[in-house]
Amino acid sequence: MPSILVDGDACPVKDEIYRVAWRTEVPVTVVANSHFRVPDHPLIQRVVVSDGFDAADDWIAERADATTVVVTADILLADRCVKAGATVLSPAGKPFTTASIGGAVATRAIMADLRAGLGEGIGGPKPFAKEDRSRFLSALDTAIVRLKRG
């Protein structure tokens, strides 16, 4: 049975995840470092971890496997989950795969070095858009269907 694990801190697509979960009858666990609201529904679970460094990431990575869809924008968490065999999606619908994760980790490191040398003036990711939400919904539907078929 597939399940969805969500890196809940600042995830912009939680409502979309809940709707897909209800429609497909797939359980969702949203993990974060602080208390937050989730719908009162048997398929939706909230897990609040300590505020220790990477506590939410560790919780998710320890439970990620081939039956899991992980939703995160955290590239290092995505890397850990891909290595565990999980299907990993960014909130913008971009899949992290064994073929793409190495490049994503390298780009992250380069950008961190640039920010350290140049300061924050180099900009960040583009704002989350309606197209990102649509792409995410399509990618999540595809992932759930694939996992249900085995």
The predicted structure's pLDDT at residue 53:
83
Collapse the DSSP code of 50 into the 3-class scheme (helix H, G, I; strand E, B; otherwise coil) and give the result: coil
12 token code pair:
């912009």
Number of domains in the chain: 1
Q: How far apart are CA 35 and CA 23, in angstroms?
A: 26
CATH of the domain at 129: 3.40.50
pLDDT at 59 > cutoff 60: yes
3 state SS of 69: strand
**Residue 130 lies in domain:** 3-149
Which amino acid belongs to residue 33?
N
**CA-based torsion, 106, 94, 28, 1: positive or negative:** negative
Q: What is the pTM of this model?
A: 0.84
pLDDT tens per residue across span 112-146: 665 666 665 566 667 888 899 999 999 999 999 99
